[in-house]
Amino acid sequence: MKTRTGKYDPATRTVPVTFTEGEIEHKRAVNACHDADGAYDAAATRVRVAEVARGVAVKIGLGVIAAVEDAPAA
């Protein structure tokens, strides 16, 4: 599972993440981690993204998350 994490959004307190496994690409926002003072914690957020990636991998393995086929041209 490959992950690509985008820039932290302080308004939503999330980071956009793209999870890629073979031909399957799944994008979602992941809640960011913050320290005791409320500041964004990039290291802890990387750990959280890795935890979410394990769950995404299981869902891909079960077929819950699958590749989206291109829609036919109108």
Structural domain harbouring 12: 2-62
Question: What pLDDT score does 68 carry?
Answer: 78
Q: Is there a domain that residue 56 lies in?
A: yes
Taking residues 12-24, what's their average pLDDT? 97
Q: Is there a domain that residue 18 lies in?
A: yes
Question: What pLDDT score does 74 carry?
Answer: 62
Q: Is there a domain that residue 71 lies in?
A: no
Check whether 10 has a pLDDT greater than 90: yes
Q: Is there a domain that residue 39 lies in?
A: yes
Q: Is there a domain that residue 70 lies in?
A: no
Q: Is there a domain that residue 29 lies in?
A: yes
Q: Is there a domain that residue 67 lies in?
A: no
> What is the chain written as a DSSP string?
-EEEE---BTTTTEEEEEEEETTEEEEEEEEPPB-TTS-B-HHHHHHHHHHHHHHHHHHHHHTSS-PPPPPPP-
Query: pLDDT class for 32, splitting at 50, 70, 90?
Result: very high
Q: Is there a domain that residue 11 lies in?
A: yes
Count of structural domains within the chain: 1
